[in-house]
Amino acid sequence: MAADPRTNWLKGVLDLAVLASLRPGESYGYELAKALDQAGLGQIKGGTLYPVLNRLEAAGLVQAEFRAAERGPGRRYYRLTDAGRTALDEQGASWLEFHAAVRGLLTGGEA
């Protein structure tokens, strides 16, 4: 059985999708993975998601804060920084232009 081509497509857009998922407000890893799945990107495992979050944090695009929980383990919450919002706006616009170009190729120029 052939591999799902979306796996390769996702590699190029996952950072942007994570930033977009944080636009409404802060979230933690499991919640982000659920939001990405519900958006149609499929199940993103922690071994894929957390390196993305760490990379975005190192780049100053997200800020993380660990919070202890009354019951169960604590959680690391992530939120966009101002630089993250700017990157999301700029990269989002570029992605939409790229998407339109690919869509034009795939549809023979039909909208």
| pTM of the model as a whole | 0.89
For residue 79, tell me if it sits in a domain: yes
Q: What is the mean pLDDT of the chain?
A: 92
Q: What pLDDT sits at residue 9?
A: 84
pLDDT for 62-87, tens place per residue? 999 999 888 888 899 999 999 999 99
For residue 18, tell me if it sits in a domain: yes
Rounded Cα gap, residues 43 and 36, in angstroms: 7
Tell me which residue range forms the domain holding 85.
6-107
Query: What CATH number is given to the structural domain containing 17?
Result: 1.10.10.10
pLDDT for 99-110, tens place per residue? 999 999 999 876
* Selection from 17, 30, 9, 95 nearest residue 61 by Cα: 17
For residue 90, tell me if it sits in a domain: yes
Q: What pLDDT sits at residue 71?
A: 85
Number of domains the chain is built from: 1
Q: What pLDDT sits at residue 110?
A: 67
For residue 1, tell me if it sits in a domain: no
For residue 59, tell me if it sits in a domain: yes
Rounded Cα gap, residues 24 and 16, in angstroms: 14
Confidence of residue 111 (pLDDT cuts 50, 70, 90): low
